[in-house]
């Protein structure tokens, strides 16, 4: 037991973690830059277990073979989303999200409870459309919750619009009950406060046909 404890909690690039990563992860995920910000093999395995769920998403999307990228099929008049396999009710967590295709009229990243819908008719901001989800619409820089706009984000004059391929870091703090965002190395601020003490899942919603969204769990956020 002591030996396995050292193996599992010691060197995160040990041969055990390398072997497990090779067995769990698709070759594409390991040889491309999808996991470039996850430096250890233990972290890569953990990211895989926190990736999008193939069983908890709209019927109009599928998860690509790399295990981390959502592809939305070209279905008219539908908004489609996905949640991750694992949610959080405690601790501090960070993940990256980026679009690899057009945003369309609505492209939202954020969090949702298990009760939040992952598909609806029309082109709408699905995340944030009820009291079970919180979202940032990257198209118009609005914050959304309970079907209402909670202000613009980031809170600065002439905030730059999201650029395709740009990685957004999402930071969920279940101790302070806040959700914050970073762009590159810039902290954009806290977007939502007073989150409920329930299990919250990283989630996205999209409307544009054949667009793709990638989500990678990073672990505990690094302060500073």
Domain segments of the chain: what residues? 1-50, 53-219
What pLDDT does 8 receive? 58
Q: Residue 185: pLDDT band by 50, 70, 90 thresholds?
A: confident
What pLDDT does 188 receive? 94
The Cβ of residue 63 has, within 10 Å, a number of other Cβ atoms equal to 17
Percent of all residues in the chain with a pLDDT value above 70, rounded to a whole number: 95
Phi first, then psi: give them for residue 49, nearest 5 degrees: -75, -15
This prediction's pTM: 0.93
Report the C-alpha gap between 176 and 170 in whole angstroms: 15
Q: Which CATH class is domain 53-219?
A: mainly beta
Give yes or no for a cis peptide into 51 (omega within 30° of 0): no
Q: Tokens 């919180």 sit at which residue?
A: 134
User: Distance between alpha carbon 36 and the CA centroid of its chain, in Å?
Assistant: 16
Q: Tokens 């981390």 sit at which residue?
A: 68
Q: What is the pLDDT of residues 27-58, one digit of tens each?
A: 999 999 999 999 999 999 999 999 999 999 99
Task: Say if CB 96 and CB 168 are below 8 A apart.
Answer: yes
């Amino acid at each position: 037991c002591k030996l396995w404890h050292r193996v599992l909690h010691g060197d995160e690039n040990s041969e055990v973690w390398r072997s497990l990563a090779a067995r769990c992860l698709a070759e594409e995920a390991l040889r491309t830059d999808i996991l470039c910000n996850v430096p250890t093999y233990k972290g890569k395995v953990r990211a895989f277990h926190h990736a999008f769920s193939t069983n908890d998403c709209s019927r109009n999307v599928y998860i690509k073979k790399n295990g981390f990228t959502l592809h939305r099929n070209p279905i008219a008049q539908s908004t489609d989303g996905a949640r991750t396999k694992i949610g959080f009710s405690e601790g501090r967590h960070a993940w990256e999200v980026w679009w690899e295709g057009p945003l369309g009229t609505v492209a939202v990243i954020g969090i949702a409870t298990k009760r939040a819908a992952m598909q609806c008719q029309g082109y709408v901001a699905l995340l944030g459309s009820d009291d079970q989800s919180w979202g940032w619409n990257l198209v118009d820089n609005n914050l959304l919750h309970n079907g209402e706009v909670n202000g613009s984000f980031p809170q600065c004059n002439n905030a730059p619009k999201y650029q395709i391929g740009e990685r957004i870091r999402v930071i969920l703090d279940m101790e302070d009950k806040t959700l914050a965002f970073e762009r590159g190395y810039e902290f954009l601020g806290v977007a939502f406060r007073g989150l409920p003490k329930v299990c919250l899942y990283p989630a996205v919603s999209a409307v544009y046909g054949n667009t793709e969204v990638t989500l990678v769990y990073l672990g505990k956020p690094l302060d500073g």
